[in-house]
Structure 1
Amino acid sequence: MSKAYPSNLTRAQYEFLSDMIPESKSGGRPCEVDMWEVLNAIFYVLLDGVRWRSLPGDFPAWQTVYTYFRNWRRDGTWMKIHDNLRQWTRIEEERAPSASEAIIDSQSVKSAAMVSQSVGFDTGKKIKGRKRFMTVDTLGLVLRVLVTAANVPERSGGKQVLKCVKKMGNKVSRLTTIWADGGFDGTPFMIWVMDVCRWIVQVVLRPEQTKGFVLLKKRWVVERTFGWLMGCRRLVRDYELLPETSETFIYLAMIRIMVRRLA
């Protein structure tokens, strides 16, 4: 049993997640590792931002922990858990399982020195690294996120992430409206969203001649979600060799937030 790290799941939170954890494959050796400890180790990496090899010794071996993290990324387990928790969280908030409105935005973050794949320079924000295209519902819960090089234009990345949202099928059956900022403005983008996704884009612009912080309709929700992510040291900078791994850590951050609300 590991120490009581702040990132650990409580027993109730683990029991809530346990039914969604894949069972061990039949025919092999019985699973000897405690899955509660594996999850605690993964969340420790997420919140404290340590390298896999730097996991404290009271967790299972880092190779074992990383293997579960990687395999569940590849087979869609993390995505399945995330989507289930999002629907349950919406029901808990007395909302329909499918959102009718979504907000889209992007966040550019610096990448670590050893990261070379899908890295670019965002000339607007003067950041070399990656860009996170985020779609959230009106509660701030993530629908889909796409991590690209930071030099990918807003409308181009927006199309890619909205395609991912469209593929969710019945999980977004009520979705009709996408709220966005000026970066996603423009008739060609709006027509594309209407033709391909059958949704309407509503652009909320910052009032002219305003200075400092301004609370903008709907757009503040996705900014709050970005703030939630910054509570995880692993997400303050992009340390991942693969952009898909960066996406998985974002879903993991949301899984931790939602399970703490539900359990």
Structure 2
Amino acid sequence: MKHGHRLIIDTILYVLVSGCAWRLVPHDLAPWHAVYRWFRYWSALGVWDDIHDVLRDQVRQADGRDPAPTAAVLDSQSAKSACGGEQIGYDAGKRVRGRKRHLLVDTNGLLLVCMVHSASVQDRAGARLVLHSIDQQYPTIGLIWVDGGYANSVDASLIDWADHELGIKLEVVKRNDDIKGFQLLPRRWVVERTLCATRRSCAVRRWESKEV
């Protein structure tokens, strides 16, 4: 290898943090075309997922927790997008045309699962995709906190389905209707913080144009 792994990783992290195009990578880093080949290769092998999972488990252990989570928090966010073909849809509830991302995080806000699809997909339908994926990947999870968009007095079918099919309890964290404006909701604030962080990342937003 002409360029060491360390320099290649540093260059990839530069693109991730700065959000710049690959061709605009500074000349004091590794050549962008060489780095991009390694990035694509490692992505195909699932290396980034493996690195993420190892680091998350280490953070949990350093915090005195078991690496395998037993509880999680689920939320979704619709984001505007002007391009993307079939991946673009209209979220009537939030009046947003674009994509919707579902994030499942542990109780520290560390990412467990992320799925991105058209904003027209209902929250309950998207949640089933997420819950199906964790059945094998995180079998220790038995409790997930959600908001009223996933289950309410009109349609609580997701709660029954998760309980009977997966053995997972969904607990709805409700807003206080007597309080106007922003509310810091118990349990849910950690996933909202993570969603906010992804919204600020240009590189993450561009990556969502890929099929997920």
TM-score (norm. length: structure 2): 0.90
Q: Which residue of 2 aligns with 1:102?
A: 72
CA deviation profile, 1:196-222 (whole Å, cap 9, x unmatched): 321000001111232111111111110
Give the secondary structure class of the aligned counterpart of 2:149: helix
Q: CA offset at residue 64 of structure 1?
A: 2.0
Q: Which residue of 2 aligns with 1:243?
A: 211
Answer with 76-85 or 33-42: which moved more.
33-42
2:172 pairs with one of 180, 184, 203: 203
1:193 aligns with 2:159: no
Q: CA offset at residue 42 of structure 1?
A: 1.7
Q: Which residue of 2 aligns with 1:25?
A: none
Q: Distance in 2 between matches of 1:110 and 1:44?
A: 26
Q: Distance in 2 between matches of 1:128 and 1:33?
A: 43
Q: Which residue of 2 aligns with 1:139?
A: 108
Q: Distance in 2 between matches of 1:49 and 1:218?
A: 30
Identity %: 37
Give ranges in structure 2 of 5+ residues lacking alignment.
Answer: none
Instruction: Give the residue type in structure 2 aligned to 1:155.
Output: R
CA deviation profile, 1:5-58 (whole Å, cap 9, x unmatched): xxxxxxxxxxxxxxxxxxxxxxxxxx1122222222222222221122222222
Task: Quote the RMSD (CA, aligned, Å).
Answer: 1.8
Give ranges in structure 1 of 5+ residues lacking alignment.
Answer: 1-30, 245-263
2:144 pairs with one of 168, 174, 178: 178
- 5 Å-filtered alignment, 1:224-235, equals 224-235=193-204
- 5 Å-filtered alignment, 1:21-170, equals 31-111=1-81, 113-168=82-137
Q: Is the 8 A contact 1:119 1:150 kept in 2?
A: yes
Q: Distance in 2 between matches of 1:117 and 1:49?
A: 25
Q: Is the 8 A contact 1:110 1:238 kept in 2?
A: no
Q: CA offset at residue 67 of structure 1?
A: 2.0
1:64–1:240 Cα change, 3 Å? farther
CA deviation profile, 1:163-222 (whole Å, cap 9, x unmatched): 122231xxx343110100001103211122123321000001111232111111111110
1:148–1:93 Cα change, 3 Å? same
Task: List 4+ stretches of structure 1 deviating above 4 A.
Answer: none
CA deviation profile, 1:98-152 (whole Å, cap 9, x unmatched): 11110000112223x4533512222222222211100000010011110111111
Instruction: Give the residue type in structure 2 aligned to 1:82.
Output: H
